[in-house]
């Protein structure tokens, strides 16, 4: 017995039937569930899939499940609120010995040179347009994260795992991590690129890592307040905190190389500051 959380077009539910599931509970909050029902009928899966329209928060089931599947991803791992939903349905419906797929989601980070998106989404707000000063919006813009597709040439330093979510036993929706990365080439740090790797089964993973992506998800770009020139040997210390992928804080400290190891820049950004001021 399988539960597909966020079944969308129903693809994972159909694959579960093909793999031998006796029953699949396919839960979907959006109108796309009509398409899943249509495809289920056309492919002869209707008798084994129970479609349930609505949020998983209100879900009730007549039985426990052996497997929870979910493809509710976003550029930086699960969608906002996704961890809470997975923990909730796992604790309420997964039978002892059952499994969650993905079992593990890891987040990775790399400092990046990203002049194009920085100009487009951050520096845009510096200007006066038709006599109107847009500059107050820049502070808001620099405290958001942006979906963007990077290639590895954007990396100015190494990358590292910064957080790990174990969907089989994690109880907290908050996660955080810290890494320090050596700069590998002269360049400009405009912010951070964040991506995920989801472990499905055995060594099968789904990832949106730049250049090695196996999904259609972009990566996340977390800007810093001003671009910083860096050289090989500098060090970038990064701390990331998130509350269920809805709120993010990213702190970046860049230290020069050489004997003096001068601090070059220090940033502390939060999506709390990215809301329009009336919501702050």
Ligand X SMILES: C[S@@+](CC[C@H](N)C(=O)[O-])C[C@H]1O[C@@H](n2cnc3c(N)ncnc32)[C@H](O)[C@@H]1O
Residues that bind ligand X (CB under 6 A): 6, 8-9, 11-12, 27-30, 32, 55-56, 71-72, 79, 85
Nearest alpha-carbon partner for 280 in 178, 140, 98: 140
Cis? peptide before 102, omega within 30° of 0: yes
Q: Which is nearer to ligand X, 100 or 254 (CB)?
A: 100
CB of residue 72 to ligand X, shortest distance in Å = 4
For the bound state, the minimum distance from the C-beta of residue 232 to ligand X, rounded and expressed in Å, comes to 39
Shortest spacing between CB 167 and ligand X, in angstroms: 14
Pairing relationship of beta strands 24-28 and 132-133 according to DSSP bridges: unpaired
In the bound state with ligand X, the residue whose beta carbon lies nearer, of 56 and 242, is: 56
In the bound state with ligand X, the residue whose beta carbon lies nearer, of 13 and 122, is: 13
Nearest distance in Å: CB 147, ligand X: 13
Nearest Cα neighbor of 198 from 168, 228, 175, 173 is 168
Q: Which residues lie below 8 Å from residue 21, measured CB to CB, with a gap of 6+?
A: 1, 2, 48, 67
Cβ proximity to ligand X, 59 vs 237, nearer residue: 59
The DSSP H or E segment spanning 265 is: strand 263-270
Neighbours of 265 (CB within 10 A): 18
Of 11 and 174, which has the nearer Cβ to ligand X? 11
First to last CA, the chain: 45
């Amino acid at each position: 017995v399988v539960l597909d959380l966020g079944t969308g077009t129903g693809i994972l539910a159909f694959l579960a039937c093909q793999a031998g599931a006796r029953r699949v509970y396919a839960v979907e909050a959006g109108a796309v569930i009509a398409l899943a029902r249509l495809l289920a009928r056309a492919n002869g899966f209707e008798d084994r899939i129970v479609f349930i329209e609505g949020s998983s928060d209100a879900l009730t089931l007549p039985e426990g499940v052996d497997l929870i599947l979910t493809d509710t991803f976003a550029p930086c791992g699960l969608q906002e609120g996704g961890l809470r939903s997975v923990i909730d349905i796992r604790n309420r419906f997964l039978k002892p010995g059952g499994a969650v797929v993905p079992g593990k989601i890891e987040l990775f980070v790399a400092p990046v040179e990203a002049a194009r998106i920085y100009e487009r989404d951050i520096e845009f707000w510096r200007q006066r347009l038709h006599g109107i000063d847009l500059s107050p919006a820049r502070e808001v813009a620099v405290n958001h994260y942006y979906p963007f597709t990077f290639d590895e040439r954007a990396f100015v330093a190494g990358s590292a795992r910064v957080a790990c979510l174990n969907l089989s036993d994690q109880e907290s929706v908050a996660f955080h991590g810290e890494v320090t990365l050596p700069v590998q080439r002269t360049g400009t740090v405009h912010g951070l690129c964040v991506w995920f790797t989801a472990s499905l089964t055995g060594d099968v993973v789904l990832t949106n890592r730049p250049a090695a992506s196996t999904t259609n998800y972009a990566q996340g770009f977390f800007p810093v307040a001003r671009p910083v020139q860096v050289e090989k040997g500098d060090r970038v210390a990064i701390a990331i905190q998130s509350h269920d992928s809805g709120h993010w804080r990213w702190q970046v400290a860049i230290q020069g190389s050489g004997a003096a190891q001068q601090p070059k820049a220090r940033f502390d950004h939060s999506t709390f500051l990215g809301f329009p001021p009336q919501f702050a």
